[in-house]
Amino acid sequence: MPRVDEIAQANDEFSRALLRASLRRFASLGSGRRRDLVSLEEARRLLGTTGEHHAGTRSIAVARIVGSEGRYRDFDRQFLPRSKHLRARWVRITLAHLGNIDLPAVKVYELGGVYFIRDGNHRVSVAKQRKIEFIDAEVTTLSTDISLPADLTEESLRTAVVRHERHLFFEALSGLTERPGPPLELTAVGSYEEIAVHIMAHRRLLEQATNGGVTREQATRSWHAGVYLPIARLIEDSGAMEHLPGRTVADLYLWLVRNWTPFLRALSRAGGRNLARSLRSFKRHFGGISTRRHR
């Protein structure tokens, strides 16, 4: 039976953790930096994981637990509790720690070297606030070729996926890295795959036009010189990128291709001469510019 002083200590630890979570959330409003746990569902969607296998029970580093399967909104990125309704269970687990009572292993998914909680969010929250470095976990490993950083956020997750997609793209089409003009650097998940589809379609058109075979390398060079480069140089010369901080010429190229028909209408309204003005016109009529691809 817990002593009165232990109950008071456990409640005090929860109240302080809840206050720290509130202060961190308030601080993030000014910085624009999100302090959320990463959703396992979102990570699986972006990484395209398929296979999984049970890897047994072992001790894992609490610092490498970055997300949750279902409770990622209840705790922030430091596993601080965000709501008063978490108090009862959080206090019970703290009392178990104070009484040196062994707790069952948490259940986690391992993905790219980091962990997502399946069961045991409160146990991880208490362990983290009590500065416990390792916790026993029943691990299920999800397959992926991408290594993820220990301080993973949704933003760094997307960056890691884009970086991997870029590597695969240029590995298959290595000649593109040596082509002149604005580099083919993209920032949204799935964009490199979309460019690869454009090149394949261009290859089919060349084969129909020449009534003969066209190699992938020939099609890539032709697409770059005849399709991408003219539009990319127009974008560069227009000054349009000043209106899109954090984006690239290749991002805007892809956005233009996706929105070609409504963009041509905006271009016509602007007199067909000023790309930057046309982009502003498009934004007024069609709700803005986004290069993020939703899959």
| CATH code of the domain containing 53 | 3.90.1530.10
In a domain, 166, yes or no: no
Query: Within a domain: residue 242?
Result: yes
User: Is 19 part of a structural domain of the chain?
Assistant: yes
Choose the weakest-confidence range: 55-69, 109-123, 179-193: 179-193
Cβ neighbours, 10 Å, residue 146 = 18
Q: Encode pLDDT of 247-295 as tens digits.
A: 999 998 898 888 776 655 555 555 444 555 555 554 554 444 554 444 4
Kindly state whether residue 161 falls inside one of the protein's structural domains.
no
**What does the pLDDT read at residue 33?**
66
Q: Is residue 134 domain-shared with residue 180, that is, in the same domain?
A: no
Q: Give yes or no: residues 212 and 139 share one domain.
A: no
Asked if residue 136 and residue 19 are part of one domain, the reply reads yes
Residue 292: inside a domain: no
Q: How confident is the model at residue 158 (pLDDT cuts 50, 70, 90)?
A: very high
Q: Are 217 and 189 in contact (CB under 8 A)?
A: no
| 118 and 249 fall within a common domain | no
Comparing 180 with 45, the larger pLDDT belongs to: 45
Q: Does 223 share its domain with 144?
A: no
**How many domains is the chain partitioned into structurally?**
2
The reply to whether 134 and 18 lie within a common domain is yes
Q: Are 10 and 55 part of one and the same domain?
A: yes
Q: For 14-53, how does the pLDDT look when each residue is reduced to its tens digit (9 = 90+)?
A: 999 999 999 888 877 765 567 889 999 999 999 988 789 9
Quote the pLDDT of residue 100.
93
Whether residue 222 lies inside any domain: the answer is yes
- Examine the fold and report which residue of 98, 123, 153 is the final residue of a domain before the chain moves on: 153
Do 123 and 186 lie in a common domain? no
Is residue 38 in a domain? yes
- Which of 153, 188, 204 terminates a domain? The answer is 153
Read off φ and ψ for residue 173, nearest 5 degrees.
Answer: -125, 60
What sign results for the dihedral spanned by CA atoms 125, 36, 72, 54? negative
Structural domain span for residue 135: 4-153
d(CA 4, CA 1): 9
**Residue 163 within a domain:** no
Q: What is the pLDDT of residues 198-234, one digit of tens each?
A: 899 989 989 988 888 888 888 998 899 888 988 888 8
Q: Are residues 270 and 221 in the same domain?
A: yes
Q: Are strands 38-39 and 106-111 parallel, antiparallel or unpaired?
A: unpaired
Kindly state whether residues 267 and 190 are assigned to the same domain: yes
Q: In terms of pLDDT, which residue wins out, 172 or 80? A: 80
Do 125 and 193 share a domain, yes or no? no
Residue-by-residue DSSP string for 208-257: HHHTS---HHHHHHHHIIIIIHHHHHHHHHHTGGGGSTT--HHHHHHHHH
CB 64 within 8 A of CB 114: yes
Q: Domain ends where: 121, 153, 185?
A: 153
Kindly state whether residues 278 and 137 are assigned to the same domain: no
For residue 67, give the nearest of 45, 42, 89, 46 by alpha carbon.
Answer: 42
